[in-house]
Amino acid sequence: MPIVEILSLVLGTGITSAFLPDVAKKLVQVGRKLRSRDPEINLKVQQLERRLLKLQSHVDDADNQASISNAYQIIIEDFKNVLLDADDLLDKTLLEYERIYSQQLRPAKLDKDLKAFEGKLGKEVGAMVDQVNGLALEMEGYTISELSQPRPAHTFSAPPPQSHRGSMVDERSVVGRTKDRLQVLELVSKQRDKTAVSVVSIVGLVGIGKTTLAQLGFNDQEVVKEFGAKRMWWVSVGFGDDVLKITKSICEATTKTVPDPSIAQLSTLDSVQLKLKETVGEKDKFLLVLDGMCDENPINWDALTLPFRFAAPGSVIVVTTRSHVVSSIVADHSSTYCLGGLSDKHCLDIINKSLMKSSLSEESGVNIAEKCKGVPLVAKLIGSVMRLKSKEMELDEILRCELWNLAEDKNLIYPVLKRSYDHLPAYLKRCFAYSSLLPRNRPFQRDDLIQLWAAEGFIQARGTRRIEDIGIEYFDELCSRSFFQVSSEKPCEGKYEMHGFIHDLAKIVSTNLCFSSEDTRPQVLPISTNIRHSSICHEQVESGLFEEFYRYEKLRTFMLLSKYPHKLLSVPVDFFRKFPCLRVLNLSGTRISKLSGDIKMLRHLRHLNVSGTLIIKFPQEIDQLNGLERLNVKNCSNLEELPENLNKLIKLRHMDLEKLGKVNSMPVDVGKLTSLETLTVFVVGSERGKTIEELKEMRCLRGSICIKKLEKVKTIQEAKAAKLQEKQYLEELELRWEANRSNTVDQAVLEGLEPHPSVLKLQIIGYCGSKFPDWMSNPLFCKLVTMNLRKCGSCTLLPSLGGLHLLKHLVIEEMKSLVTVDSPFFQSDGGQEGFPSLETLKFSEMPALRTWGGMEASDMPRLRKLTIIACKEFRNLPPLYYLAALEELEIDGCPKLQSFPGRGLPRSLKRLIISESEILKQKYCRVNKGDWGMIRGVSHIETEDGRIQP
């Protein structure tokens, strides 16, 4: 893309204005520290603040101009870099103050160190003031005429014309929308019995075919018959149209057969609304299509629909929109249709239709069809370009070319997308631009991206609210505007993705700020050395690639984001010295086994991710990273110990450890990290400063934690000292003892480890007490959803869990002393059914278990899956017939189980697996023999020999 067009698009990104509040806040903090110590430097800091504010006012003036000169654009780019440089300087200053004061020096030594530091600070602030003054003078030298210099044609900055499309459609040109058409028609037909006007919304990306789909429905013969041609109105809504203009357009549409000149003379909203109410009437129902709604103000929607409040029942308004916010305002979830993309085959069909006679073969066209990313408008664009330029452009040239360079008219895709981006607040623009670093076409975790935003300082604090909670709001807002969407590949894993065009847009608006290097695209490193954020998405990374980035000395982000592990064995020796401003460092998935002590140079570092590496230990110097907020060492199976002075990292909020790794003790006094929110593993020690009491003051812990080596806790008092009851944000708790030991204190210890009732998942592993504490049966634990009791070899009784009303998943395994499951297990408070929400139940590897009784007909009404594995003495099942929701039953390794009880199996059963249980198999699993009739109605029957086909 030509530099003029890049600058034109970047200028309007609004990212620059998001940085100023961060800098201003830090200026105030530094000013407070300097006010009493060095008034001269404090004056320079105040001068810097005033100058930056004045420069921002110039930038705001430029944003209000229809067009500005290219030279002025470059100055604004310089201003953005000055802001970032100022932020780096102030951040370093605040961190250095914290470091000096944390050393607890004698007054004379403290004063000497502060004076030395502030002397250097004064020179750096003075140099920055001079730089800002120079920019201000340069900006002030421009006249209004120079500022408003017209730019060349075909730039992205010119607002694209509003596409006003009518209701007519050529159905022969529509490809791949038969199913979508039927589903939208079904949504419309469902509204006919409603007592008020109903709204159906069609939501999707620009160019995806929302208008075409609405046209197909509008012209459907059954719809025309239902509403009557005179009671069907189509209104194309312009970007930025207000309520008055839209209402007037609806009025004009209602009189399309006999134009009413009086409508044009109406000038107030009230007069237009009264006219529309009169026209709509109360007798005959109508169908109205509002194509292209983008107003996200619910008050305006209420005003727009006011004239329809008393319209005929069964009337329907169909709204097409790119915004999920608009969709949620105008229609409920059941009346919303999210329109997805077309297949590559259908995109190829559209391209071939545009090419007419010179159709592409499927083999040569498949790669070109992939460029469409499912968007029919792009398929039409590519087809028209190939038809008009077939002599000039070879096939491989089109494949190499970026979409925005294909068309003569550049006002087709990205400018339309960018309009949605332009209406984002500045703080969201910055977060979205940063997402350009994510690998193309790869699902990502929401929380991972939010952690990166937090580390970069993109999330604005609000009172005492968690940064991550505010980040979730940011993320949800971007999702509602279709910048992110739930992954189509892995929706069950809670992953998200960016559509290809949205990813391209992020790259465009982050030009000169972010850079991602990918295998799939020819790479030309940015000319500007002011790049601040980078990612490497190559499948293979050599150390030489690191060195190519050395030119970008102001980098704040360096991430390796390969899909597969790298073969990289080490980080270049001078790497840490080259990037002193790094906030985020991700070296995950490499084969590095150590880090250099020079990591101490990364004073700004907030986020260090070495997950999935071969790292054995950290250098001692890591304790000098006093700004570090997240340390991720998950899947580091070789890691033997954590940094000895970890307790010095008092800002650490997240520490992700490998639960089954080699780390066998915590650093001394880790309890000083009272800001920790994530601590996935805590290894109990016996020495002072390593006991379970270190958890005492960690009141902010949330998410999940595994507490290992609980055999080192000797008394109930020690267990209670951890104060698990006060950790209200913990959702998952795993309590783990070493197995194969004799211990008489486990019962008291588990009694003292009672968690807060808000816990959702509880795992108890290796417990050697003979029974479980009463708190496990307490109805106060009403939020508990999942429980796993494993290797509790001395227990002879199961806890009374039937009263846990939200418990959905229960696993009980490797309890070698348990002989019977009886009625206390199902006991429920108030005599109600036991386990009212339980969906899956598994008994596994219990060699002494013989009987299961005490289950009433009303117990476990929602159980879907029952699994019994490796219970060699198990002899009888409870009545299964009453489990009316049971769909899957698996019995494996129960050789003494002879039959199904009483009335047999429930009618709901769809899948039956019997293996290593010979008596059952011989009795039931021989087609048309024995008791085959009892199970013949089950659709899927399987043994260790394979599936049985009746």
The confidence band for 141, taking pLDDT boundaries of 50, 70 and 90, is low
Per-residue pLDDT at 451 exceeds 90: yes
Per-residue pLDDT at 400 exceeds 60: no
Instruction: Tell me how far apart the alpha carbons of residues 595 and 375 are, in angstroms, rounded to a whole number.
Output: 46
Angle at 914 between CA 913 and CA 917, to 5 degrees: 165
Check residues 397 and 496 and name the one with the higher pLDDT: 496
Q: For residue 675, report the phi and psi dihedrals to the nearest 5 degrees.
A: -90, -5
pLDDT (0 to 100) of residue 278: 83
The confidence band for 631, taking pLDDT boundaries of 50, 70 and 90, is very high
The confidence band for 636, taking pLDDT boundaries of 50, 70 and 90, is very high
The pTM of the full predicted model, rounded to 2 decimals, is: 0.82
Sequential DSSP letters for 72-134: HHHHHHHHHHHHHHHHHHHHHHHHHHHHHHHT---HHHHHHHHHHHHHHHHHHHHHHHHHHHH
Give me the residue label for tokens 């003029």: 4
pLDDT (0 to 100) of residue 472: 94
Q: Provide, rounded to the nearest whole percent, the portion of the chain with pLDDT above 90.
A: 38
The confidence band for 560, taking pLDDT boundaries of 50, 70 and 90, is very high
- Tens of pLDDT, residues 152-194: 433 333 334 444 577 888 788 888 888 999 999 988 888 776 7
pLDDT (0 to 100) of residue 529: 79
pLDDT (0 to 100) of residue 36: 59
The confidence band for 132, taking pLDDT boundaries of 50, 70 and 90, is confident
Spatial CB neighbours of 362, under 8 Å, sequence gap ≥ 6: 348
Instruction: Tell me how far apart the alpha carbons of residues 909 and 602 are, in angstroms, rounded to a whole number.
Output: 60
The confidence band for 616, taking pLDDT boundaries of 50, 70 and 90, is very high
Check residues 936 and 886 and name the one with the higher pLDDT: 886
Check residues 690 and 56 and name the one with the higher pLDDT: 690
Give me the residue label for tokens 């026209």: 279
pLDDT (0 to 100) of residue 29: 79
Give me the residue label for tokens 């009404």: 861
C-alpha dist (Å) from residue 636 to 561, 618, 646, 691: 17, 12, 18, 24
Averaged over 521-533, what is the pLDDT?
Answer: 73
Range 156-160 contact pairs with CB under 8 angstroms and sequence separation of 24 or more: 156/5, 156/8, 156/9, 156/404, 156/410, 156/414, 156/415, 156/418, 156/508, 157/8, 157/9, 157/11, 157/12, 157/67, 158/411, 158/415, 159/415, 159/419, 160/411, 160/412, 160/415, 160/416, 160/419
Per-residue pLDDT at 238 exceeds 70: yes
- Tens of pLDDT, residues 748-807: 999 999 999 999 999 999 999 989 999 998 888 778 999 999 999 899 999 999 999 999
H or E element at residue 60: helix 39-63
Instruction: Tell me how far apart the alpha carbons of residues 122 and 126 are, in angstroms, rounded to a whole number.
Output: 6
| 297-301, 626-630, 721-725, 887-891, range with the lowest pLDDT | 297-301
Sequential DSSP letters for 653-698: -EEE--TTSS--SPPTTGGG-TT--EE-EEE--SSTTSSGGGGTT-
pLDDT (0 to 100) of residue 1: 35
Instruction: Tell me how far apart the alpha carbons of residues 828 and 804 are, in angstroms, rounded to a whole number.
Output: 8
Averaged over 530-552, what is the pLDDT?
Answer: 84
C-alpha dist (Å) from residue 17 to 52, 58, 513: 11, 11, 14
Check residues 357 and 543 and name the one with the higher pLDDT: 543
The confidence band for 880, taking pLDDT boundaries of 50, 70 and 90, is very high
Spatial CB neighbours of 302, under 8 Å, sequence gap ≥ 6: none
pLDDT (0 to 100) of residue 931: 85
Q: What is the mean pLDDT of the chain?
A: 83
Residue 74 amino acid letter: I
pLDDT (0 to 100) of residue 411: 43
Instruction: Tell me how far apart the alpha carbons of residues 411 and 406 are, in angstroms, rounded to a whole number.
Output: 12
pLDDT (0 to 100) of residue 806: 92
Could you tell me how many residues make up the chain? 950
Instruction: State whether the Cα torsion 76-80-85-86 is positive or negative.
Output: positive
Greatest CA separation for the chain = 99
Look at residues 841, 831, 882, 878 and name the one whose alpha carbon lies nearest to residue 861: 882
Angle at which helix 107-140 crosses helix 70-102, to 10 degrees, equals 170
| 218-227, 689-698, 832-841, range with the lowest pLDDT | 218-227
* 517 CB neighbour count, 10 Å cutoff: 18
Spatial CB neighbours of 544, under 8 Å, sequence gap ≥ 6: none
Averaged over 884-912, what is the pLDDT?
Answer: 92
pLDDT (0 to 100) of residue 261: 67
Per-residue pLDDT at 648 exceeds 50: yes
pLDDT (0 to 100) of residue 694: 96
